[in-house]
Structure 1
Amino acid sequence: MKRRNFLKIAAATLATPALNISRAWAAEPGAPLPIPEVMEIGPDAGNTLDAIRGTHEFIAGAPSETWGYSQDYLGPLLRFRRGRTANISVANRLDEPITAHWHGMHVPGYLDGGPQLAFGPGETWAPELPIDHPAATLFYHSHVHGRTGPQVYRGLAGMIIIDDPEIDDPLPRNYGVNDFPLIVQDRGFDRSGRMTYNLGMMDRMHGFRGDEILVNGVIRPKLTVPAGLVRLRILNASNSRVYDFRFNDGRQFYQVASDGGLLNVPLATTSLQLDGAERAEIVVNFSDRSPVSLVSHDIGMGGMMNGGMMGDRGGSMMMDDRGMMGDRGMMGMAGNSGTTLDIMSFDVGETAPVGPASLPTTLPADAPELGDPVRRRDFTLNMHTGGMMRGMMGRDGQMMGINGEPYIMDRIDETVRTGETELWRINADMMMRHTFHVHGTSFRVVSQNGRSVDPARIGWKDVVRVQGPTEILLRFDKLASQETPFMYHCHILEHEDAGMMGQFTVT
């Protein structure tokens, strides 16, 4: 389909008259933030994640059907130690294949948990993971081809913390006291208050966006913190939503880590933008004892024309609060682009401050040298690979692709040599925002939209926003065979499921 014809069809669809259908519930904020239970993963057997069905009341009195790892929704926080082998078993108690992908972790392909490693109902996968990764906040989730979006949405996800005994972490690190995980997600609910995932045309095009924001599985919770420095490990675990985090009183905070681990120095800021699957660690000073809220500017879908005709889910063209074309439908939304989303609130308790009283001027960041690239590869993220509108309406799941080809499990797209530094250039064939993830390594971002960036300020990444030409410098030190290759893909989960993914070996 030609781009101008696609724009005409999309514009005509958006021009549908609005209706006003009210919902029968209201989400009450202020419930205590749940702190995930920690599962310490070491070399001894006995650590098991059971993928199970459950029910969870996100809205009081409206139980939703959910999935989780060893609990009704999401999973425990997995804690690994660098230099140790981590033995863990994942048992599938569901009725369809799943995986457990250790997002961001540097492991060989046969341990990565990608689509090739899916295992069926009643089966158990028991990898032995050699932990060779700097101290960092990572992510685990199911990664089945064509089913990643709904499986993660239902709850098959959780946070990982890697500790490095060789470094002296100078930051707050008393888990659950001054060091907190924040798994941020948006979810959609039907008129009865039950979580739903029904994709309309625009959900497939831009990625699903829900109408409520959850942190650790609770809508707009409250956290009581000590009156001092507090570390927040933030994971954007939404299917597609981009957050622009800030505090409602405009206070300054410090980013101290990104996807791959610590930065070189704490960076003072008043806002933090995270795309899907990105992580950041920040340190906030609550010594003034003032209550405060974490909020986000609603960036919109990040679609064509950078927030123009199709970059905003709000406005008068919304059919109802559930969306056009079905229960979620074509334009399910959570506020208009430019509005403010409430994420969670903080108050300060009577507990005496613990941990460091001030931040260091430098941080013990992992700093391997990549050197100059020996080759360059180009990747174009394609919104359609033939029959685009047919794919959007659900009759052809493989509507998207990379370099003109949708993902095929038995095709190897690239072959990379271990230990060689490469420059990858990623772009899109339409003016769309994407989020590009590479398995098996961390990389440095060299440029975005034609402008050079300071890699030290961004840190080590495994996810990067693509909104114009983007260059990354990377090297692979872990092997991946043809049977269990690494993946590169858009981390808008609906794009990934629709075929915007490729795979490569490392030899």
Structure 2
Amino acid sequence: MKRRQFLSLGVATLAAPAIISRRTVAAEPGAPLPIPDVMEVGPGAGNILSAIKGRAELIPGVESDTLGYGQDYLGPLLRFQRGRTASIDVENRTDDPITAHWHGMHVPGYLDGGPQLAFGPGKTWSPELPVDHPAATLFYHSHVHGRTAEQVYRGLAGMIIIDDPEIDDPLPRDYGVNDFPLIVQDRSFDRSGRLTYDLGMMGRMQGFHGDDVLVNGAIRPKLTVPAGLVRLRLLNASNARIYDFNFTDGRQFHQVASDGGLLPSPAAMVNLRLAPAERAEIIVDFSDQSAIRLVSQNVGSGGMMGGGNNTATLDVMSFDVGDASTSGPVQLPGSLPATVSDLGEPVRTREFILNISSGNMISSMLNNLIGQDRQTMGINGEPYDMSRIDQQVQLGETELWRINADMMTHPFHVHGVSFQVVTMGGRAVNPAEIGWKDVVHVEGPTEILLQFDKPATIDTPFMYHCHILEHEDAEMMGQFTVG
């Protein structure tokens, strides 16, 4: 019997059927989409990002205990400009250590905001970020080891937009008019409508999956868009859920950017799959003025414990179309100001296996069932150790990393660099079609090509890890230096 099949049978034997108590407070869809305020972050003083405890009405009329950067839940949209230093003061006004990790940014390790840089209540971290990154949609969030999942779930996260004044962006870019951030998360609520984070055994092993989909902190909201081309910046900020986005009328749209920035040319598609922490910018033509909904197929976790995929549809948000068009572009260009450059031949190859249960699986499951211990996970058979450097990389060299998993699929993230995907599931892919990435969904043997040009020391190394946040907290992470 294969190990995967054995685990499915073991969990079926150990786990009693779940009894779901539905809440008595309704979560009505259709509230207007909240548009995050913008914080333009430059070299001067006065840019303050305060992590605070909040009381947010995620369900109207019911307050939940939340966290946020400068607000009750989530944070402002941070706007950086390439070539300018971004000076920012991150204050900790919560009760626990926090960080601010600039997910996807090319900065040295001492500015990255990883777990080694956690700082306690009442403290302030004041990094000066040299913005050396192409125009892109990035992600920021707390990254305290063992607490990342709950802190992000409670709201310590937000979106970053990097602008590049050296390029002529031919796409819609009037923020809040024809260019919209969509931070997509799944969350659960108790019977009274309060936000809840109860992991249980399955949540620990497969990552937490919520019952409701929020966009920018609102449950299944509505957005009124102009009749024309609209840019949607999609960020999967869920702890573990994979989305397969499409529109209810089956309309075609075009992807114009991935994690690390613009694609060389728009890519036509009718559905778009994003794993946790992946981003994509898409252009949707609303000139027909049809009211439609954005939905997602409910994608499973690759079959672990019988999880598999199922065909249930998740409502994400709806769109109404106004009468007026905007002064933005009326048609998509055939090409975009981006290229996937030649990184050259790799000087070495490294192998990574993402492991679930490097110890006794059944014992771990029993401990989880009775509320003891947490699921053992790791990479290459080793759980994360903050005092151990797992890899030493040479500055400026190109490497090939081969990643695979022994149980289920995982979104694999590397700090401090954007990479090119060479193969996925053992099949060759065209890196130009996928674009620059910092997260890759590992569903079978996967190869990525990386060139490291930012240093990281023993004291403040870079991380590589699964971006299912519960897995990251449960030790599926390693760290490396660049020098």
TM-score (norm 2): 0.96
| Alpha-carbon distance, 1:366 to partner | 4.2
State the distance in 2 between where 1:115 and 1:153 align.
Answer: 17
Cα deviation, 1:459-484, whole Å, max 9, x if unaligned, reads 00000001111000001000000000
Q: Say whether 1:438 aligns with 2:414.
A: yes
**CA offsets, 1:173-207, max 9 Å, x none?**
00000000000000011111111001111101110
- 2:120 maps to what in 1? 120
The 3 A distance-change label for structure 1 pair 441 and 19 is closer
Does structure 2 retain, via aligned residues, the 8 Å contact 1:397–1:499? Answer: no
Task: State the secondary structure of the residue aligned to 1:201.
Answer: helix
Count, aligned residues: 478
Deviates more, 1:387-396 or 1:438-447: 387-396
Aligned to 1:145: 145
Does the 8 A contact of 1:54 with 1:71 survive in 2? yes
Q: What SS does the aligned partner of 1:149 have?
A: helix
- The one-letter code of the counterpart of 2:430 is D
Displacement of 1:240 in angstroms is 0.4
- 1:369 CA drift (Å): 2.1
CA pair 22-281 structure 1, distance change in 2 beyond 3 A: closer
Q: 1:12 to 1:356 in 2, by over 3 A?
A: same
| Post-superposition CA distance 1:55-113 (Å, at most 9, x none) | 11111222111000000000000000000100001000011100000000000000000
Q: 2:85 and 2:350 mapped to 1: Cα distance?
A: 34
**AA at the equivalent of 1:385:** S
Q: For residues 3 and 289 of structure 1, what CA distance do their matches in structure 2 show?
A: 48
2:400 maps to: 423
Secondary structure at 1:456 match in 2 = helix
Please state how far the C-alpha of 1:303 moved relative to its aligned partner: 3.4
Q: Aligned equivalents of 1:225 and 1:96: distance in 2? A: 40
User: Which residue in the other structure is 1:10 paired with?
Assistant: 11
Q: Which amino acid aligns with 2:52?
A: I
Match of 1:328 in 2: none
Whole-angstrom distance in 2 between the partners of 1:18 and 1:148: 26
Identity of aligned residues (%): 71
8 Å contact 1:278–1:463 — kept in the other structure?
A: yes
CA distance in 1, matches of 2:254, 2:3: 46
Matched AA of 2:251? R
Distance in 2 between residues matched to 1:434 and 1:71, nearest whole Å: 31
2:337 aligned residue:
364
Instruction: Name the CA shift for 1:389/1:49 in 2 (closer, same or farther; >3 Å).
Output: farther
* Secondary structure, aligned partner of 2:151: helix
Pair 1:101–1:22, CA change in 2 (3 A)? closer
Give the direction of change, closer, same or farther, for the CA distance of 1:138–1:17 in structure 2 (3 Å limit): closer
In the other structure, the counterpart of 1:402 is: 379
Conserved in 2, the CA contact under 8 Å of 1:171 and 1:231? yes
* Alpha-carbon distance in 2 for matches of 1:402, 1:302: 18
CA distance in 1, matches of 2:299, 2:4: 24
Q: Secondary structure at the match of 1:204?
A: helix
Look up the match of 1:456.
Answer: 432
User: What aligned pairs does 1:68-107 form with structure 2 within 5 A after superposition?
Assistant: 68-107=68-107
Preserved CA contact (<8 Å) 1:441 1:476: yes
Which amino acid counterpart does residue 121 of structure 2 have in structure 1? P
Check conservation: 2:340, 2:435, Cα contact below 8 A.
no
1:498 maps to a residue whose letter is A
Q: 2:469 maps to what in 1?
A: 493
Amino acid at match of 2:14: T
Separation in 2, partners of 1:22, 1:12: 25
CA distance in 1, matches of 2:81, 2:463: 25
Structure 2 residue identity aligned to 1:504: F
CA contact 2:30–2:222 (8 Å) conserved in 1? yes
- 2:355 maps to 1:382: yes
Q: Which amino acid aligns with 1:444?
A: Q
1:302 shift after superposition: 3.0
- The change in CA–CA distance for 1:5 and 1:268 in structure 2 (over 3 A counts) is closer
Q: For residues 194-205 of structure 1, what are the structure 2 equivalents within 5 Å?
A: 194-205=194-205
Contact 2:300–2:307 (CA<8 Å) still a contact in 1? no
Q: Any idea what the Cα deviations from partners look like across 1:313-353, whole Å, max 9, x if unmatched?
A: xxxxxxxxxxxxxxxxxxxxxxxx21111100001113332
Q: CA RMSD in A?
A: 1.5
| Partners of 1:190 and 1:108 in 2: CA distance | 42
* Residue-by-residue CA offset, 1:37-65 (whole Å, 9 max, x unaligned): 00000000110100001111111222111
Shift of 1:413: 0.1
Q: Does 1:341 align with 2:351?
A: no
Which residue does the alignment assign to 2:295? 295
> Would the alpha carbon gap of residues 85 and 250 (structure 1) be closer, same or farther in structure 2, given more than 3 Å must change?
same
Classify 1:4/1:184 alpha carbon distance in 2 versus 1 (closer, same or farther; 3 Å). closer
Deviation at 1:3, TM superposition (A): 5.9
TM-score, scaled relative to structure 1: 0.92
Residue 465 of structure 1 corresponds to: 441
Alignment of 1:470-489 (within 5 A): 470-489=446-465
Residues 391 and 17 (structure 1 numbering): CA distance in 2 closer, same or farther, change over 3 Å?
A: closer
In the alignment, residue 228 of structure 1 is paired with which amino acid?
A: G
3-state DSSP class of the match of 2:306? coil
List alignment gaps of at least 5 residues for structure 1. Answer: 313-336
Contact 1:397 1:497 in 2 (8 A): no
Per-residue deviation, 1:6: 3.5
SS of the residue corresponding to residue 224 of structure 1 reads: strand
CA displacement at 1:491 relative to structure 2: 0.2
How far the C-alpha of 1:301 sits from its partner, in A, is 3.2
What is the CA–CA distance in structure 2 between the aligned matches of 1:8 and 1:257, rounded to whole Å?
42
Counterpart contact for 1:373–1:473, Cα < 8 Å: yes
Q: Secondary structure at the match of 1:436?
A: strand
Task: Write the distance in 2 (CA, Å) between the matches of 1:206 and 1:454.
Answer: 30
CA apart distance, 1:4: 6.1
Match of 2:110 in 1: 110
Kept in 2: contact 1:134–1:366 (CA 8 A): no
1:177 and 1:13 mapped to 2: Cα distance? 52
CA distance in 1, matches of 2:20, 2:138: 41
1:201-350 to 2 correspondences below 5 Å:
201-304=201-304, 309-311=306-308, 337-350=310-323
Per the TM alignment, residue 19 of structure 1 is displaced from its structure 2 partner at its CA by: 4.4
**C-alpha distance in structure 2 between counterparts of 1:20 and 1:204, whole Å:** 18
Write the letter of the residue equivalent to 2:123. Answer: E
Structure 2 distance, partners of 1:472, 1:501, is 17
